[in-house]
């Protein structure tokens, strides 16, 4: 091959440049490349390609229904926590673990009453994670905010930081636990979107299942990042709100008709 002018063969230069770059990357940072490759092909464990969340239609949430709360208590062994002997009703109701609670809002002007189940909102920027001194409070890659009890020291700083009052502290020894929900004195806990179900490939939460079974269908669980999921489609068509959107936490749990 001969060049008619003095210009060098740019294709050849490009080829050499790319080869050197690739060889350099492979020899200098094999660890980095490996990690990237693994993140793409990893099938086990959580991935940030998804973000789990809930959409709750408060119009469909019935006044006297506690199906979601009961289902949550059963699923996560919260009903196995016994009341300490001699504790007053007030103390027990204030201190018992609660992953979901029913909140009633009343418009003072019109008297309109709105019901909504309140749980951990699985923020994108969770204040509980920011303040945790040991790193026990953490956000999984798939957006679920939870507590690693192995490192939780029970300081309850996260309970102070949470704007949603979503976390509970276990004050006394617990005699019985479920395999899926370890629980013991001295740790903080909160809704984890039934993480054991998600890890098992089940795409329902206990609360959603119970709500659907009762015919209310107020709770929809799904992947916020998947445009084809029922949740994403509903969010696209309906006007929804984050509770305390002013805090800019980008919650994973959204509400309509609040």
Partner 1 sequence: MPRSTGIKRFAGMLMAGLFATLATSAQSDSVVTPGSKAAGMDTCVAPTAEMRRYHMEYLKHDRVETVRQGVRGLKNSLADCVDCHAAKDGNGGYLSINADGQFCDRCHNYMAVTLACFQCHRKTPADQDASSAKTSTGNQGHAFGLLLDRGESAALTAEERAQFQALVREE
Contacting residues toward partner 1, per CB under 8 A? 44-46, 138, 140-142, 146, 148-150, 173-174, 176-179, 182-187, 195-196, 198-200
Q: Least separation, in Å, of the C-beta of 64 and partner 1?
A: 33
Closest by CA to 100, choosing from 74, 124, 126, is 74
Q: 211 or 224: whose CB is closer to partner 1?
A: 224
- Closest approach of partner 1 to the CB of residue 183, in Å: 6
DSSP 253: E
Alpha-carbon distance values, 227 to 1, 45, 49, 236 (Å): 53, 22, 12, 9
CB of 224 to partner 1, least distance (A): 17
- Report in angstroms how near the CB of residue 46 gets to partner 1 at its nearest: 4
Q: Which is nearer to partner 1, 10 or 200 (CB)?
A: 200
Contact by Cβ (8 Å): 136, 148 = yes
Torsion over CA: 179, 168, 86, 65 (sign): negative
**52 versus 164: smaller Cβ distance to partner 1:** 52
User: Given the complex with partner 1, which of 174 and 258 has the nearer CB atom?
Assistant: 174
Q: In the complex with partner 1, which residue's Cβ is closer, 192 or 256? A: 192
Helix (H) or strand (E) holding 129: helix 127-131
* Minimal distance, residue 258 CB to partner 1, in Å: 31
For residue 139, the surrounding DSSP H or E stretch is strand 137-139
CB of 26 to partner 1, least distance (A): 26
Supply the DSSP string of 65-128, one letter for each residue.
--HHHHHHHHHTTGGGPPPPTT--HHHHHHHS--S-EEEEEE-TTT--EEEEEE-----SS-HH
Q: Under 8 Å CB-to-CB from 33, ≥6 apart: which residues? A: 25, 26
In this complex, which beta carbon is closest to partner 1, that of residue 10 or of residue 179? Answer: 179
């Amino acid at each position: 091959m001969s060049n008619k002018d003095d210009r060098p063969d740019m294709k050849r230069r490009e080829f050499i440049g790319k080869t050197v770059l690739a060889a350099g990357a492979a020899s200098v940072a094999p660890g980095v490349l490996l990690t990237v490759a693994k993140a793409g092909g990893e099938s086990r464990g959580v991935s940030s390609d998804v973000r789990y969340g809930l959409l709750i239609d408060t119009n469909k949430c019935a006044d006297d229904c506690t199906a979601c709360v009961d289902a949550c208590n059963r699923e996560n062994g919260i009903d196995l926590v016994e009341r300490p002997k001699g504790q007053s009703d007030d103390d027990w109701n204030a201190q018992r673990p609660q992953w979901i609670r029913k909140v009633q809002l009343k418009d003072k002007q019109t008297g309109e009453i709105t019901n909504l189940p309140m749980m951990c909102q699985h923020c994108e920027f969770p204040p509980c994670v920011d303040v945790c001194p040991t790193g026990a409070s953490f956000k999984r890659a798939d957006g679920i905010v939870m507590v690693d009890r192995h490192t939780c020291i029970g300081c309850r700083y996260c309970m102070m930081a949470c704007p949603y009052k979503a976390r509970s502290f276990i004050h006394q020894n617990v005699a019985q636990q479920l395999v899926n929900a370890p629980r013991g004195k001295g740790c903080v806990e909160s809704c984890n979107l039934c993480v054991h179900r998600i890890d098992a490939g089940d795409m329902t939460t206990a609360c959603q299942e119970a709500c659907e079974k009762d015919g209310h269908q107020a709770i929809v669980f799904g992947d916020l990042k998947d445009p084809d999921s029922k949740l994403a489609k509903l969010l696209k068509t309906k006007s929804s709100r984050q509770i305390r959107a002013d805090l800019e936490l980008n919650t994973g749990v959204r509400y309509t008709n609040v």
